[in-house]
Structure 1
Amino acid sequence: WVWQDTKDGHLVGDLILHDTHYHRYLTFYYCNATAFAASVVVCLLLLILDSESKPWAAALRVLMVLDLLGLMGAYAAGSCRDAFTTIYSSVIMSAVLAYIAIAFFVYVFSKKQGEDSEKHKREDQHEVLMLLATFVVTITYVAGLNPPGGFWSNSQDGHRVSNPVLQEHNSSRYQAFFVCNTTAFVSSLLIIILLLDKKLILSLPANKLSGPFVRFLALYVFIIIALFGLVGAYAAGSCRELDTTTYVVCLIGVVLGYIFLQVAITKAIPENATGWLKNIKELFVESSRGNEALGKDEASEAMERAKTNEASKRTNKAPVKANAKESRNSQANEALEKARNLVILLATLVASITYQAGLDPPGGLWPDDQDGHKGGDPILLTTHPTRYKVFFYSNSAAFVASLIVITMVQSSSLLKRHTLEAAMLLDLFGLIGAYAAGSAEM
């Protein structure tokens, strides 16, 4: 945010934060510049260096850690405006720094681990998780520095320039947004750290709770925390009225309940179905045995030889059929994995744009408290309330559907069901409705 006029010793276009909080501005600037430079160097090293070079691999890890530390410092300096936000950011980021320090020493002094036999199987999955974490870091970083409602651009009526409008009008909602957004931001950073190297997770002595298991569990715990943080930040930052808040909360509850029900059914039905099939099979076997006993005396030797020859042919063909079936299953699994990656990419993109659109709706925000409106409220809500509600409901449906799709693709059983197709259709139709309501002039 910049000054809109030239007076009181500042020039139009100058940064407001530079004049109001000089030391905080310097901290933000240097941390943000460090993170940017480290990211550029990492990209260049990945393009020109050999992946097998161990010294450069260590340098890449150091640069990535420096990048993440710069991001955390810039986020804390640029988003904290009062004691509550400063304390919360300091506590949660100090915990992350402590974890990074401990994990770094463990990585340096630990012995070389053996080759992971399942490394290639999990490589694609880790790429998807890295993509998801990167998008969450991006949108939460931007939202933390530019909270919903904007900032005060003047000091009229006792306002303080560059302070969030939402913080003054509804401090509890602003605190809820800040906590959820910061939690999602930090959780995504931890996901990236865990994916950088498998040694960055402490191994436990128990046999069943080995390092890979703890790492796997930690990854999905952080993913769940990040997604719930996004949902909470969206609800706190985009809802201006009671009906919109109720809509978002109910939508999230209904859809999550449906997903859990689908998972429970998927886990429960196969076991019962297996028991039913076994009982039916036993009945058929008993019936066939009875018929065979009745007709055994009348069966001829020729028929017995024919059956023996036919069984021998089937036995010879069985390996060929098994190999063909295995090949078809492998191709189906490969196609399913490709579809999974494309679906999660699409869902992540939709979640990113709908999250930003919900916090910064079309038409902009009122900059002051005049003519019956409040500063920070959407202009579209005042000028075209029906159109704004259509946009909000459609955008919220698309956002929640995207998060649900991201959750669903983690289960291969749900991928094969029509539930995912229904969620994707809801996602796309919600996106279309939000675009039509938010961009149409008439």
Structure 2
Amino acid sequence: MTDQPASDATAAPELFTWEFAADPYPAYAWLREHAPVHRTRLPSGVEAWLVTRYADARQALADPRLSKNPAHHDEPAHAKGKTGIPGERKAELMTHLLNIDPPDHTRLRRLVSKAFTPRRVAEFAPRVQELTDRLIDGFAERGEADLIHEFAFPLPIYAICDLLGVPREDQDDFRDWAGMMIRHGGGPRGGVARSVKKMRGYLAELIHRKREALTAEAAPGEDLISGLIRASDEGEHLTENEAAAMAFILLFAGFETTVNLIGNGTYALLTHPEQRRRLQESLAAGERGLLETGVEELLRYDGPVELATWRFATEPLDIGGQRIATGDPVLVVLAAADRDPERFAEPDTLDLARRDNQHLGYGHGIHYCLGAPLARLEGQSALATLLTRLPDLRPAAEESELRWRGGLIMRGLRTLPVEFTPAEPISGKDDQGSTM
């Protein structure tokens, strides 16, 4: 790839290789010091600016001159359709929160924000705990597991499906489609696009069925899709495409971030035994304060979202002393900003008790992650339950054997093999005989 020459004679590090994916932080440290706003050619062929310092990142995330709408991208022919989720254009799923600006963004965000209020999330906590325990029951007696495939991945999928109102008998289909997205997220886009197309068809049918049920004056659902339909029918001007796109992006963005939070967070604890011991002692004493600050620190230290989603300059502007031209793509590197020594003391040290921790793991400004309260709940439940029920959890693979998914936006492990002393299950099967 082609990188803009740095200001000194030292060559910029190579970005977005498999070696870089395993540990991007040294390269990001170099960029923060030598080229904090850096133009590079991405593996897709798109040229974009990378913003790596904390102060610049906060500015860019909240700057209204940086649009989320891909229509503002002055894209060359070779970059056509490569700045978003594969398949979303053909599937007519573009009108979601990651691709729009005010006033449409304000209108759509208002419609779904009530699903993620602290009260609503607190009411959902027992279901998250139930899912957590049942997933652990699925492998507890074996004494070994792949925590990504068997735990971190299915937990948020089933949780977000419940929240949206996807019937239990259909949720395994969503698990399959989501798995295709994760497996191919850093590789061929065709696999992701096919899954997006299948998900779009299902969501259109589900919205139609729920609208018919509401029209027939059946018992109104309390799920998010039913809420979107009611809002549309009550004059909120929500089109069917907007409703489908909203459900789609909540599924797409709502599961992989939590997969990576649980996976990255567990791995960080396993490789920092003193921090893990402190957290286990705190949990054993019935205290949750260290768990809460600990999840925030894990989000900062090795968070699930490496780069914020795409932004496009609507007019010329300066970021960090660098001139950005109209139409240029800008990618804020959250992973770099959250280890900026100008903002965080000892940024490369994992400190679960860190208090001054205004990290950017869930963004900043009007596009701050809507599902952050739910993701925090899932992360806290998953980590606390794992460490309590499987207290001697340990890696079953060397660090050099682990592989990180290559991709632009997300950061997460492909697998996380672990071993532990076998434990008794604590919950039974449901009426359908599945673990869910």
TM-score, normalisation: structure 1: 0.21
Using CA pairs below 8 Å that are at least 6 residues apart, which structure has the higher relative contact order? 2
Q: Give 1 or 2: higher strand fraction.
A: 2
**Larger of the two Rg values belongs to structure:** 1
